[in-house]
Amino acid sequence: MAEIITVGEILVEVMAKHVGQTFEQSGEFVGPFPSGAPAIFIDQATKAGSSGAILSKVGNDGFGRLNVERLKRDGVDVQYIGTVADKTTGIAFVTYKTDGDRDFIFTLKDSAAASITRDDIAEAMFTGSRYFHIMGCSAFNEEMIAAFKKAIAIAKAKQVKISFDPNVRKELMENAAMKEFILYALSSCDIFLPGEEELKYITGLADEQEAVAAVLAQNASCVVVKRGHRGCTAYERDAVFSAKPYRTDEVDPTGAGDCFAGTFISLISQGRSTEEALKYANASGAYAVSRKGPMEGTATLDQLDAFIKERGAQV
What residues make contact with ligand ATP under the rule CB under 6 A? 167, 195, 226-229, 231-232, 245-246, 248, 250, 253-258, 260, 282, 285-286, 289
Nearest to residue 113, comparing CAs of 195, 48, 57? 57
* 225 neighbors 194 (Cβ within 8 angstroms): yes
Q: Nearer Cβ to ligand ATP, position 6 or 282?
A: 282
What residue 32 binds from Mg ion, ligand ATP, none (CB within 5 to 8 A, per partner kind)? none
- Reported as half-sphere exposure (CB side, CA atoms, 13 A), residue 163 has a value of 31
Position with the least CB separation from ligand ATP: 285
- Which of the 8 DSSP states describes residue 55? E
Q: Nearer Cβ to Mg ion, position 82 or 253?
A: 253
User: 266-300 as b/e, with b when 16 or more CB fall inside 10 Å?
Assistant: bbbbeebebeebbbbbbbbbbbbbbbebbbbbbbe
- Check residue 240 and give left, alpha or beta (phi > 0: left; psi -120 to 50: alpha): beta
**By CB under 5 A, residue 51 contacts Mg ion:** no
What residue 82 binds from ligand ATP, Mg ion, none (CB within 5 to 8 A, per partner kind)? none
Q: Nearer Cβ to Mg ion, position 103 or 143?
A: 103
What residue 56 binds from ligand ATP, Mg ion, none (CB within 5 to 8 A, per partner kind)? none
> For residues 58-97, which are near Mg ion according to CB under 5 A?
none
Q: Give strand pairing partners of 53.
A: 5, 77
Q: How far is the CB of 201 from ligand ATP (least distance, A)?
A: 13
E strand or H helix at 3: none
Strand 191-192, strand 161-165: pairing: parallel
* 173 neighbors 201 (Cβ within 8 angstroms): yes
What residue 189 binds from ligand ATP, Mg ion, none (CB within 5 to 8 A, per partner kind)? none
Three-state DSSP at 238 gives coil
Strand 239-243, strand 191-192: pairing: unpaired
* 215 neighbors 180 (Cβ within 8 angstroms): no
Give the C-alpha separation, 143 to 156, whole Å: 20
Q: How far is the CB of 255 from Mg ion (least distance, A)?
A: 9
- Count of residues binding Mg ion (CB under 5 A)? 2
**By CB under 5 A, residue 167 contacts Mg ion:** yes
**By CB under 5 A, residue 257 contacts Mg ion:** yes
Q: Nearer Cβ to ligand ATP, position 125 or 232?
A: 232
Q: How far is the CB of 261 from Mg ion (least distance, A)?
A: 8
Q: Nearer Cβ to ligand ATP, position 42 or 286?
A: 286
What residue 21 binds from Mg ion, ligand ATP, none (CB within 5 to 8 A, per partner kind)? none
Q: How far is the CB of 85 from ligand ATP (least distance, A)?
A: 31
Q: How far is the CB of 125 from ligand ATP (least distance, A)?
A: 25
Q: How far is the CB of 153 from ligand ATP (least distance, A)?
A: 26
Nearest to residue 107, comparing CAs of 38, 8, 13? 13
Q: How far is the CB of 283 from ligand ATP (least distance, A)?
A: 8
**By CB under 5 A, residue 136 contacts Mg ion:** no
Binding site for Mg ion (CB under 5 A): 167, 257
